[in-house]
A and B are shown apart, each in its own frame.
Chain A
Amino acid sequence: MLINRILLILSLVLLPVVLKATPVFTLGNEAYQNRDFQQAINLYKESLKTTQSFSQYFNLGNAYYENKEYGQAILAYERALTIKPGDAEALGNLKKTYEVLQISPERVGSIEFLARMFSANTWTCIAIIVILIGLIAFCFQLYTSVGNGVVKTIMWSCMVLSVLLIGINVFYVSQARWGIVFKNEAKLRISPTNASPAMTLLPEGTRAKVIKTKETVEGFVLIKTLDNKEGWMSMEDFELIRS
């Protein structure tokens, strides 16, 4: 399959970086097995400086969970899921973490369910390929009269598919603004200063969307939670999933 070939090429390109990250990652695994979770966290984070992979984020999530840093664990699992959407193990551990925090995870809509079949970049590649095929079919039927019926069917199918694929890509772009509150009782402030009174306290693991990214004040972001609470959050307590 073409996608597999692309992934293979990407793997070959990334191979040197992966090889560099492996020793630190392995040390992290050893620390995890020895139940030294803080050391495991440090090592996994160190390995992430050279490359980022599903396994690293997944293991980091486990280490955070065991270290009872549940907000950070959710953030790590969410990041793992951005690389490998729909992974059953990552979803399982994420669900477990939400259970511990007694938070209801976000409901998955039909578009999101579909989108999570592949990663954002895979969907982008598929979209580009489909659009190109559609364009070629369009040109073909515009300038030749050979096999018009089949070409037309291909062209229209590609056009309909393109709309769906663009929708999925737009969904992923909007997802890029979501983040996780990783500190418990993080203050959602009225204005972007530490002196500002807290509007409410958010529990760790809360999902929130960054709004007005262009108006971000240094050290603070304007966020909106799923239950429409809007306010300023310190970047020390909040991190974007796809940062």
Chain B
Amino acid sequence: MKKFYLSNSMLKTIYMLFLTIAFVSKVFAADKITVSAAFEPKELVFGRRGLLNVTVSGSKNASAPTIPEIDGLTIRVLGTQQNIQVINGATSISSTYSFSVSAQRPGEYSLPDFEWDINGEKYLVSSSTAKLRVLEQGSSEEVETGMAIDLKVNVTQDKVFVGEMIPVTVALYAPTTISGQVSVMPTIEGDDFISYGYREPSREVVENSDGSKRQVVSYETYIMPLKVGDNSLQYKMGLVIQTPQSMNPNRLNANNFFESIFGNLTINGVEEVEPISVPEKINVIALPIHGKPENFTGAIGDFKVEAFTAIPQDAHVGDPITLKLAVKGGGNMDRISAPILNAEGDWKVYTPKSTFSKEDAFGFTGTKIFEYIIIPQSDKITETPPITFSFFNPKTERYYELTPDAVGLRITAAPESVNQSNIVSSHINQNTTQISSEGSELLPIKLGITHSVRTLRPLMTRPFFTPLLIGLAIAIGGLLALIKRRKLRHAQDAEYLKQVNIEKVIQANLEKVRKAYAKGDAGEFYHAASVVILEVVAREHSKSAQALHVEDVENFFREKKLSEEFISFIKTILNTDDVIRFSGVADEKRLSSESLKNFESLINELEKCC
């Protein structure tokens, strides 16, 4: 008998197969079936949604339960989740059906007992654990139990000047038992104030009176009132939160509120909340009129002039000088306009520009630099024009004027060469009928109207242009088609083709005659000449050139009333051609300058008569 030996790999495969069968049979083996139902959370603030979880353990093929109606509650199916656990070889299976629950009014709700059909058998779902308490919004209970999500605004000043930047703290209070994300940062309701962004929020946990804890997230910002009067400051923000029971309990700590926690949640468990702060009345007052400087440009805060420079300090008349005024401090930096330079007459001043280097996230503190380009118009200038920066300090409630010391300058007359070129330029301009405006930097105006047009719009965009082009294209196309058609018609016309062919032969042989004469080839000369004569006759004769006799040619030209002298010359040509051809000897004596001259005269005569 033959012996079978199992290899190591075959043994391993069989072993793994047994293990798999054992595991699968254990997993799918019938187990004791238990059912339960519970609200999550058990206490809910009115207006938010909760969950009702109905769980079956020991069966994986249960169909969804039919939840009985509960007066005052709206229950909607969310989804199902299966859980298989193997602990010390023992396997447990459970399926949880989740329902979204929202209350129509505050109160206490109980889920009545109901039967659940699982694998053909009915199981009773007990109501003992399924109780839900819905609290009123803002109720003391809500606050005490630490379930409220509040937004609070803290303004340190009760009196604010319009245009003044003031610090504000927006604090979000939320229970430590919920988690979520910020979907909309705090925003101001209405248009009485503008906000200046936020710094990274700070987080802390505070304790309620009942010992429960709430997490607080504080946002610091600056606001600016835009209108005078009693204005309401109200903030609103957007949150996406999750009820605690659906989360991993290990994540429930004070620092996790703004972490992304959706990795272990289903999206159906997410709720959007929009907490709104209680309107805060702020008395916004106008800036005092008394003591307001004429050159006040809207700076409110506390500032000082950091630097005032002029570059270059040695310049010619007409050279640009850059003035820089640096203002440092804290206040409404973005609203400060450039102070006006008192530079009339001797200076030409260009529109200033400014740059701002902020030292905080809100642009409240920093340095603003105003840059002026000024051009001296006189060599009598000794210093920069005076400049005054004014601001209003809301703390002292007074206006201040800061006038930096003028910078000394040495302005000299413009170089002679420049003046000379200006004179030359002016002279040329006069000769070309132009007028220069006195003191103008521009090239002078024109005296006469030149280069007139009816409209500035390009021809191509005018309405008539496209039809005109199309018309032109059609005309060219039509012309081409006509030419083509004519050519095709001629291609089928035998008489036309004969005439064209004869004309070609005549032209080619005339050329041959001239060449043969140049070479002194009498044979070629007379042959080409006789071909020309025969083709001229064939053009109007019924016979072809090859079939014509000397008599035919003679009669033809007699009919055409050609002179006898020419007829005689024609006969000479034809006869000479025959002689040369049949004798095979070309007598060079027969070719003289007279021959070509007579032939050309003959051709001229033939053109007239035929």
> In angstroms, how far is the closest chain B Cβ from the Cβ of A240?
9
A35 in the interface (beta carbon within 8 A)? yes
Instruction: Tell whether, in the assembled complex, residue A52 and residue B457 are in contact, meaning their CB atoms are under 8 Å apart.
Output: no
Instruction: Tell whether, in the assembled complex, residue A51 and residue B452 are in contact, meaning their CB atoms are under 8 Å apart.
Output: yes
B461 in the interface (beta carbon within 8 A)? yes
Instruction: Tell whether, in the assembled complex, residue A83 and residue B456 are in contact, meaning their CB atoms are under 8 Å apart.
Output: yes
Instruction: Tell whether, in the assembled complex, residue B459 and residue A84 are in contact, meaning their CB atoms are under 8 Å apart.
Output: no
- Partner among B444, B452, B480 whose Cβ is within 8 Å of the Cβ of A14: B452
User: Which A residues are CB-close (under 8 A) to B448?
Assistant: 22, 55
Contact with B along A22-50 (1 / 0, CB 8 A): 10010001001101000000000000000
Instruction: Tell whether, in the assembled complex, residue A169 and residue B460 are in contact, meaning their CB atoms are under 8 Å apart.
Output: yes
User: Which B residues are CB-close (under 8 A) to A21?
Assistant: 449
User: Which A residues are CB-close (under 8 A) to B450?
Assistant: 53-55
A96 in the interface (beta carbon within 8 A)? yes
Instruction: Tell whether, in the assembled complex, residue B460 and residue A120 are in contact, meaning their CB atoms are under 8 Å apart.
Output: yes
Q: Knowing A53-B451, A143-B483, A176-B461, say if A33 contacts B437 (CB, 8 Å).
A: yes
B77 in the interface (beta carbon within 8 A)? no
Q: How far is it, in angstroms, between the C-alpha of A70 and the C-alpha of B283 when the chains are bound? A: 43
User: Which A residues are CB-close (under 8 A) to B453?
Assistant: 14, 52-53, 83, 119, 121
B13 in the interface (beta carbon within 8 A)? no
Q: How far is it, in angstroms, between the C-alpha of A15 and the C-alpha of B459 when the chains are bound? A: 20
User: Which B residues are CB-close (under 8 A) to A236?
Assistant: none
Instruction: Tell whether, in the assembled complex, residue B442 and residue A173 are in contact, meaning their CB atoms are under 8 Å apart.
Output: no
B445 in the interface (beta carbon within 8 A)? yes
Instruction: Tell whether, in the assembled complex, residue B460 and residue A55 are in contact, meaning their CB atoms are under 8 Å apart.
Output: no
Q: How far is it, in angstroms, between the C-alpha of A143 and the C-alpha of B454 when the chains are bound? A: 41
Q: How far is it, in angstroms, between the C-alpha of A100 and the C-alpha of B460 when the chains are bound? A: 35
Interface residues of B in 102-153 (CB under 8 A from A): none
Contact with B along A166-178 (1 / 0, CB 8 A): 0001001101100
Instruction: Tell whether, in the assembled complex, residue B437 and residue A96 are in contact, meaning their CB atoms are under 8 Å apart.
Output: no
A141 in the interface (beta carbon within 8 A)? no
> In angstroms, how far is the closest chain B Cβ from the Cβ of A28?
9
User: Which B residues are CB-close (under 8 A) to A176?
Assistant: 457-458, 461
Q: How far is it, in angstroms, between the C-alpha of A239 and the C-alpha of B18 when the chains are bound? A: 86
Interface residues contributed by chain A, number (CB under 8 Å) = 51
Secondary structure call for the A interface:
helix
A191 in the interface (beta carbon within 8 A)? no
User: Which B residues are CB-close (under 8 A) to A11?
Assistant: 452
Instruction: Tell whether, in the assembled complex, residue B442 and residue A124 are in contact, meaning their CB atoms are under 8 Å apart.
Output: no
Instruction: Tell whether, in the assembled complex, residue B452 and residue A52 are in contact, meaning their CB atoms are under 8 Å apart.
Output: yes
Instruction: Tell whether, in the assembled complex, residue B449 and residue A25 are in contact, meaning their CB atoms are under 8 Å apart.
Output: yes
Interface residues of B in 68-95 (CB under 8 A from A): none
User: Which B residues are CB-close (under 8 A) to A124?
Assistant: 458-460, 465
Q: How far is it, in angstroms, between the C-alpha of A18 and the C-alpha of B448 when the chains are bound? A: 10
A242 in the interface (beta carbon within 8 A)? yes
Instruction: Tell whether, in the assembled complex, residue A55 and residue B451 are in contact, meaning their CB atoms are under 8 Å apart.
Output: yes
Instruction: Tell whether, in the assembled complex, residue B449 and residue A51 are in contact, meaning their CB atoms are under 8 Å apart.
Output: yes
A89 in the interface (beta carbon within 8 A)? yes
Instruction: Tell whether, in the assembled complex, residue A102 and residue B353 are in contact, meaning their CB atoms are under 8 Å apart.
Output: yes
Q: How far is it, in angstroms, between the C-alpha of A175 and the C-alpha of B461 when the chains are bound? A: 11
- Partner among B445, B451, B458 whose Cβ is within 8 Å of the Cβ of A29: B445
B518 in the interface (beta carbon within 8 A)? no
Interface residues of A in 168-204 (CB under 8 A from B): 169, 172-173, 175-176
- Partner among B435, B447, B454, B476 whose Cβ is within 8 Å of the Cβ of A52: B454
Instruction: Tell whether, in the assembled complex, residue A54 and residue B451 are in contact, meaning their CB atoms are under 8 Å apart.
Output: yes
Instruction: Tell whether, in the assembled complex, residue B460 and residue A102 are in contact, meaning their CB atoms are under 8 Å apart.
Output: no
A234 in the interface (beta carbon within 8 A)? no
Interface stretch (choices A56-64, A106-114, A150-158, A216-224): A56-64
User: Which A residues are CB-close (under 8 A) to B28?
Assistant: none
Instruction: Tell whether, in the assembled complex, residue B459 and residue A121 are in contact, meaning their CB atoms are under 8 Å apart.
Output: yes
User: Which B residues are CB-close (under 8 A) to A82?
Assistant: 456
Q: How far is it, in angstroms, between the C-alpha of A125 and the C-alpha of B469 when the chains are bound? A: 12
Instruction: Tell whether, in the assembled complex, residue A173 and residue B460 are in contact, meaning their CB atoms are under 8 Å apart.
Output: yes
Contact with A along B516-557 (1 / 0, CB 8 A): 000000000000000000000000000000000000000000
B438 in the interface (beta carbon within 8 A)? yes
Instruction: Tell whether, in the assembled complex, residue B476 and residue A135 are in contact, meaning their CB atoms are under 8 Å apart.
Output: yes
> In angstroms, how far is the closest chain A Cβ from the Cβ of B53?
47
Please give me the residue from chain B that is nearest to A7 by CB atom: B451
Q: Knowing A54-B450, A143-B483, say if A120 contacts B459 (CB, 8 Å).
A: yes
B200 in the interface (beta carbon within 8 A)? no
Q: How far is it, in angstroms, between the C-alpha of A82 and the C-alpha of B442 when the chains are bound? A: 19
A225 in the interface (beta carbon within 8 A)? no
Contact with B along A222-243 (1 / 0, CB 8 A): 0000000000000000000111
User: Which B residues are CB-close (under 8 A) to A59?
Assistant: 445-446
B417 in the interface (beta carbon within 8 A)? no
Instruction: Tell whether, in the assembled complex, residue A96 and residue B441 are in contact, meaning their CB atoms are under 8 Å apart.
Output: yes
- Partner among B353, B437, B460, B461 whose Cβ is within 8 Å of the Cβ of A62: B437
A105 in the interface (beta carbon within 8 A)? no
User: Which B residues are CB-close (under 8 A) to A241?
Assistant: 456
User: Which B residues are CB-close (under 8 A) to A84?
Assistant: 451
B351 in the interface (beta carbon within 8 A)? yes
User: Which B residues are CB-close (under 8 A) to A242?
Assistant: 456-458, 461
Interface residues of B in 348-368 (CB under 8 A from A): 350-351, 353
Instruction: Tell whether, in the assembled complex, residue A121 and residue B458 are in contact, meaning their CB atoms are under 8 Å apart.
Output: yes
Q: How far is it, in angstroms, between the C-alpha of A175 and the C-alpha of B480 when the chains are bound? A: 36
- Partner among B437, B455, B456, B487 whose Cβ is within 8 Å of the Cβ of A143: B487
Instruction: Tell whether, in the assembled complex, residue B350 and residue A65 are in contact, meaning their CB atoms are under 8 Å apart.
Output: no
Q: How far is it, in angstroms, between the C-alpha of A124 and the C-alpha of B353 when the chains are bound? A: 43
A8 in the interface (beta carbon within 8 A)? no
- Partner among A18, A54, A55, A65 whose Cβ is within 8 Å of the Cβ of B442: A65
Q: How far is it, in angstroms, between the C-alpha of A113 and the C-alpha of B285 when the chains are bound? A: 58
Q: How far is it, in angstroms, between the C-alpha of A22 and the C-alpha of B483 when the chains are bound? A: 52
Q: How far is it, in angstroms, between the C-alpha of A62 and the C-alpha of B456 when the chains are bound? A: 19
User: Which B residues are CB-close (under 8 A) to A65?
Assistant: 442
Instruction: Tell whether, in the assembled complex, residue A100 and residue B442 are in contact, meaning their CB atoms are under 8 Å apart.
Output: no
User: Which A residues are CB-close (under 8 A) to B438?
Assistant: 35
Q: Give B contacts to A, CB under 8 Å.
A: 350-351, 353, 435, 437-438, 440-461, 465, 472, 476, 479-480, 483, 487
Considering the complex of A and B, which 9 residue pairs feature the smallest CB-CB distances, nearest first? A120-B458, A55-B446, A54-B451, A53-B452, A59-B445, A89-B443, A242-B456, A124-B459, A121-B459
Extra inter-chain contacts (15) besides given A32-B435, A55-B445, A96-B442, CB under 8 Å: A17-B452, A18-B452, A51-B449, A51-B452, A51-B454, A52-B456, A56-B449, A58-B446, A59-B445, A62-B445, A63-B445, A120-B459, A121-B453, A143-B483, A173-B460
Question: Would you give 6 A-B contacts (Cβ < 8 Å), ordered by A?
Answer: A11-B452, A51-B454, A62-B442, A66-B442, A124-B460, A135-B476
